[in-house]
Amino acid sequence: MIAKVSQIYFPVHGDQRGSLIAIEHNIDIPFSVLRTYYIYGTKQGISRGLHAHKRLKQVLIALSGSVTILCEYIKKKEYYLLDSPNKGLLIEGMVWREMYNFSKNCVLLVLANEHYDEQDYIRNYEEFISMTSRNVQ
């Protein structure tokens, strides 16, 4: 795994009726949630994301269907498949991310530790590379 990205497996409370997952803030995920959003109805062949955040921490969960997440941090790239509601991907600040290969039925839930702030986005890849290479020197 690359630094600043980690996979989380949530415990499933299952019985003969089906399954239930509880996410307790500061226990199952390492922050309190200030914002929740979800991405769905993504058209085939579309990529989303293509940015990094300066400070924001988020956990991504495919509640339904599947999606691949590409993460990049200091010249290291890794791909993660989210294909189950018990799998979460924690992405911290300064990680470039791209979400692609959305299945038709994908509902991607995102839990964030901050309110929406466009100033926290780095949408230019060259700027991201220059900021992260400065950090390692």
As measured in angstroms, the least distance from the Cβ of 120 to ligand T46 is: 8
Q: Would you call 25 a catalytic residue per the annotation?
A: no
Is there binding between residue 40 and ligand T46 (CB under 6 A)? Answer: no
Q: Measured from the CB atom, is 58 or 113 closer to ligand T46? A: 58
**Of positions 29, 58, 73, 111, contacts ligand T46 by CB under 6 A:** 58
Which of 56, 80, 85, 57 has the alpha carbon at shortest distance from 69? 80
31 C-beta neighbours (distance < 10 Å), count: 16
In angstroms, the Cα distances linking 36 to 1, 13, 108, 133 are: 25, 22, 11, 31
Structure tokens at 93: 């600040």
Is there binding between residue 4 and ligand T46 (CB under 6 A)? Answer: no
Q: Which residues bind ligand T46 (CB under 6 A)?
A: 35, 37, 39, 48-49, 58, 60, 97, 110, 116
Q: Catalytic positions, please?
A: 51
